[in-house]
Structure 1
Amino acid sequence: MKPVIKFLPLLAFSVLVAACATNEGVDAKKAELEKLKSQLSALNTQIKTLEAEIAKEDPEFANANKKSLLITTAAAKKGEFTHYVEVTGSVLSKKNVNISAETAGRILEVPAIEGMRVSKGQILATIDAESIQRNIEEMENNLALARTVFEKQERLWNQKIGTEIQYLEAKNRKEGLEKSLASMKTQLSKTEVRAPFNGTVETVRVRLGELVQPGMTMFQFVGESDLFIEADISESYVGVLSKGDSVEVSFPSINRSLKTKVSAIGSIINPNNRTFKVEVFLPNIPEVKPNMISVLKIQDYKNKESVIVPAHLILADNRGDYLFIVENGIAKKKYVKRGYTFGAETEIVEGLTGVETLVDKGFREVGDNFSVNISQL
């Protein structure tokens, strides 16, 4: 065992020397690599400088020296272009009413609750009718006596007995009590507050036991028929939109769409948000409910002979808007005058005929007179 221990220090020293030699070799290679990179950078700079100088004096050299960029293309097209004003609207009802008490009394029952859908004639609240009922009973007794007196007086009058005044007084009293009784019964019927039409109870403003007076608002009630859509439109569209314009309506909550028309346009600008009201006709659709959100696309422009391009391909500089077209493998900068934009498409009113091939992918990398290769993928 001792001979082995004797040689261990010598072995460790040899490993250390070999490791140092390896590190020195790697460092030397790294230094050499950096030196070559610096030389390459200097050469590239000299090459670019010479190319630029030669290109100024020799345009053919410049065109031949340009590298072709790989691009994809899109076609300009000619056809119908339609622009829409897109806004959010809310479904409202022309039957949005406040239901008020028509007789005085204390609330005995309020079966209606907020958000409740009810049918025409359904009871919303009941008012105490005890005093009215007593008055009716008393009036019925008086009317029974008045009828008896009238019938006897009429028989006497037919027999030429008694005076005409007595007959007319008996008749007048009977008819007066009949009208008063009918009026009292009408008042009794009003102690039951009923829904005037099918709809939804929006707000309940009375409580059980509360004393109400004629004219006091008890419920806000919205009918389910005669619905329309109302939206706020920017004042910049004053004079652009008109009654009868086509409207595309979509209801995101029920995934339903339809086409309709503008039925009315407001004549007052809201000073708070600089908008005016637009009303859109809504046909009877069972799924559509008051206060439902809708998205309106109101057509305000249409041209059947438009040149249309993808909107994202249009760039701009100090001179104006432009895009790149491809002619014989060369990208050409083409200045244009744009019209309306809707969605992903823009109408071009000047600069294109509609048969051009446009640079699509790669349009930000190309320049005027750049050589390009069109990808076949």
Structure 2
Amino acid sequence: MKSISKLLPLTLVVLFAIGCASDESIEAKKAELDKLRTEASEIQASILELEAEIASLDPEYAKQNQKSILITTAQAKKAGFEHFVEVTGSVLSKKNVIISAETGGRVLEVPAIEGMRMTKGQVLARIDAESIQRNIEELETNLDLAKTLFEKQKRLWEQEIGTEVQFLEAKNRKEGLERSLASLKTQLNKSMVVAPFNGTVESVQIRLGELVQPGTPMFQFVGESDLFIEADISESYVGVLTKGDSVDVSFPSIGKELKTKVSSVGAIINPNNRTFKVEVFLPNIPQVKPNMITVLKIQDYQNPSSVIVPSYLILSDSKGDYIYIVDGELAKKRYIKRGRTFNNETEILEGLEGNETLVDKGFREVGDNFKVNISQL
């Protein structure tokens, strides 16, 4: 026990010395690390300063030593290019008419209502014609008498009894009454307003009991045949669109599409909107109704062999339009002459051959002769 108690103070002294030596070693290492970091920072600052000086003296050196930009690519293609004029049109009918009264009187009956489909000859309205009917009855009585007198006068004339004047007067009276009777019957028929062809009542402009005169508008009536499409085209296409040009027509409301042709091109520019009218032939389709909205795609340009690129890749500067292509590990600025644009694709008239690899994603970050790294994803 005495020997252990004697050794304990010595052990504590040794451990304390070792601990102090360990603390001194850690502090030394920290000091050494701080020193190296400071030196590295100074070296990096010197490197950046030197690179900036060299870049200012030698721009080519700067391009060679800049960081690569990660990009994806797209391919220019050589194919047929078509351009279409897209406009909104409306289905109209050549049988869109206003039916007016042809005789005067009070409206007794209006069986037609808006939206009703009518067949040719079906009654739309009936106008009071009592006075015409009484005149017809009176004329028929007078005509019977005139016919009897004419027949008697004719027999006497054939027997050479009486004068020719008497015979001609009897004949003229009979024929005059016949003409008057036919005229009244025509007026009586006109008191029945009928559908002139198969179609739909678009609007009713008279009321039951209303007094109408000849020429008073009564109905707007639209036929369901002889339909066509009318659209307004910008005057910039004057001379480009002609009769017979192909047209793609779509009906958004019924999800139907068809191909047809331009049937008529207007010759007058509307001064209000600077457009001219175009009519498009429409075959008979049961689901299509007058006033239905359509979308027309009219082809106004075609090139069977064009260089085509995505429109969004084309940029512009003071010199003109350009696009970035990939040449080895570098992005190259290539000035181009663009043609028409349709459906997010642009025709290139000059500057590309059609086999170039284009900078796609990242095209706004690159510059001429910038290093690029093509993503493999």
Partner of 1:246: 246
CA distance in 2, matches of 1:119, 1:181: 29
Pair 102,49 (structure 1): closer, same or farther in 2 beyond 3 Å:
farther
Partner of 1:342: 342
Partner of 1:264: 264
What is the Cα-based RMSD across aligned positions, in Å? 2.5
Secondary structure, aligned partner of 2:120 = coil
Pair 41,132 (structure 1): closer, same or farther in 2 beyond 3 Å:
farther
CA distance in 2, matches of 1:363, 1:128: 81
Q: Deviation of residue 68 (structure 1)?
A: 2.7
Partner of 2:26: none
Partner of 1:152: 152
Cα distance per residue 1:272-327 (max 9 Å; x no partner): 22222222222222222111111111222111121111101111122211111112
Q: Deviation of residue 240 (structure 1)?
A: 2.6
Secondary structure, aligned partner of 2:126 = strand
Matched, 1:290 2:257: no
Partner of 1:116: 116
CA distance in 2, matches of 1:292, 1:89: 9
Q: Deviation of residue 60 (structure 1)?
A: 7.1
Secondary structure, aligned partner of 1:176 = helix
Q: Deviation of residue 39 (structure 1)?
A: 11
Pair 38,105 (structure 1): closer, same or farther in 2 beyond 3 Å:
farther
Pair 58,147 (structure 1): closer, same or farther in 2 beyond 3 Å:
same
Pair 41,267 (structure 1): closer, same or farther in 2 beyond 3 Å:
farther
The count of corresponding residues between Structure 1 and Structure 2 is 341
Secondary structure, aligned partner of 1:296 = strand
How does 1:1-377 map onto structure 2 within 5 Å?
A: 48-56=48-56, 62=62, 65-377=65-377
Q: Which has the larger radius of gyration?
A: 2
Letter in structure 2 aligned against 1:372: V
Pair 322,160 (structure 1): closer, same or farther in 2 beyond 3 Å:
same
Partner of 1:21: none
Q: Deviation of residue 349 (structure 1)?
A: 0.6
Pair 229,45 (structure 1): closer, same or farther in 2 beyond 3 Å:
farther
CA distance in 2, matches of 1:251, 1:88: 10
CA distance in 2, matches of 1:179, 1:38: 125
Q: Deviation of residue 346 (structure 1)?
A: 0.3
Letter in structure 1 aligned against 2:93: S
CA distance in 1, matches of 2:132, 2:105: 10
CA distance in 2, matches of 1:75, 1:265: 40
Cα distance per residue 1:100-134 (max 9 Å; x no partner): 11111111111222333322112111100111111
Letter in structure 1 aligned against 2:200: T
Secondary structure, aligned partner of 1:233 = strand
Q: Deviation of residue 160 (structure 1)?
A: 3.2
Query: Share of identical aligned residues, percent?
Result: 75
CA distance in 2, matches of 1:257, 1:332: 44
Letter in structure 2 aligned against 1:309: V
Pair 225,45 (structure 1): closer, same or farther in 2 beyond 3 Å:
farther
Cα distance per residue 1:64-103 (max 9 Å; x no partner): 5333333222111112111111111111122222211111
CA distance in 1, matches of 2:46, 2:84: 56
Secondary structure, aligned partner of 2:214 = coil
Pair 42,254 (structure 1): closer, same or farther in 2 beyond 3 Å:
farther
Cα distance per residue 1:202-235 (max 9 Å; x no partner): 2222111111111222122222222222212222
Letter in structure 1 aligned against 2:96: N
Q: Deviation of residue 52 (structure 1)?
A: 3.4
Given the two structures, how large is their TM-score scaled by the length of structure 2?
A: 0.83
CA distance in 2, matches of 1:313, 1:59: 27
Partner of 2:30: none
Pair 182,222 (structure 1): closer, same or farther in 2 beyond 3 Å:
same
Letter in structure 2 aligned against 1:66: Q
CA distance in 1, matches of 2:270, 2:276: 6
Q: Deviation of residue 351 (structure 1)?
A: 0.3
Secondary structure, aligned partner of 1:232 = strand
CA distance in 2, matches of 1:310, 1:116: 51
